[in-house]
Homo-oligomer: A and B are copies of this chain.
Amino acid sequence: MATLTTVTVPVPRSDKGEATRAAIATAAQALFLERGYDKTTMRAVAERAGVSLGNAYYYFGSKEHLIQAFYDRIQVEHTAAAEAALAHETTFAGRLRGTLTAWVDVAEPYHHFAGKFFKVAAEPASPLSPFSPESAPAREASVALMARVVDGADLKVPATVRGELPELLWLAQMGVVLFWVHDSSEGRRRTRQLVDRAVPLVDRLVRLTRLPGVRGAADDIVALVRSLRA
């Protein structure tokens, strides 16, 4: 159980501060895309933003904090791109595939420094960890998106399973992200293959939970997941 720690995030109180903060974030994003994370120095970010090094640190506690903006950006873009797919897909498999493929599309421009990205996110103490309190809004938004995948679909499964499905699908998405990070094929061809092949499988597994022999096991999985959240 994570102890709840208070994190001091310098939220700008004035309009001027807001503008400065945005300038720094924008400069960082541009430089990360141009040169990648490692080759972008805090000094270069500050210079491009037109502020001093010390001032950049006033708004962002560390270089890693500048990454959070990408997290948020991808999340927002993904939701928009997924909605387009969800609008015309009615089957569970179609909706899930559309949503996952939309993520791969949206994330592509950032792949070349996704390693650093992921590295930071993997540290438990990091606010960028997908399990951290700070990431709760983005995580909940992603789970909510998976809920929309399930809700609009032609899916008949036990209520217990259905209730936990969005969170389980989010976890599956984390698995896709893990694969994607390691995928150096052109255009993330291999990740797309993984999605195309795994989705029908997931579809099949989910529907199998209606089988008497399988349902008990599925309920146990649900109970386990619930107990881990506590």
- Spell out A's residues near B (CB within 8 Å): 1-3, 115-116, 118-126, 129, 131, 179, 181-182, 184-185, 190, 193-194, 197-198, 201, 204-205, 208, 211, 213-214, 217, 220-221, 224, 227-228
Determine how close the nearest CB of chain B comes to the CB of A214; give it in whole angstroms: 6
Contact across chains for A131 and B182 when beta carbons are under 8 A apart = yes
A2 and B184 in contact (CB under 8 A), knowing A119-B120, A214-B208, A217-B208?
Answer: yes
B-chain residues with CB within 8 Å of residue A179 when the two chains form the complex? 228
Determine how close the nearest CB of chain B comes to the CB of A178; give it in whole angstroms: 9
Count copies of this chain in the complex.
2
A205 to B182, CA, bound (A): 29
9 residue pairs, one from A and one from B, having the closest CB atoms: A122-B122, A119-B123, A124-B182, A115-B124, A115-B123, A119-B122, A204-B217, A201-B220, A197-B224
Interface centre among A131, A184, A217, by most B CB within 10 Å?
A217
A227 to B192, CA, bound (A): 13
Closest B residue, CB atoms, query A182: B124
B-chain residues with CB within 8 Å of residue A181 when the two chains form the complex? 124
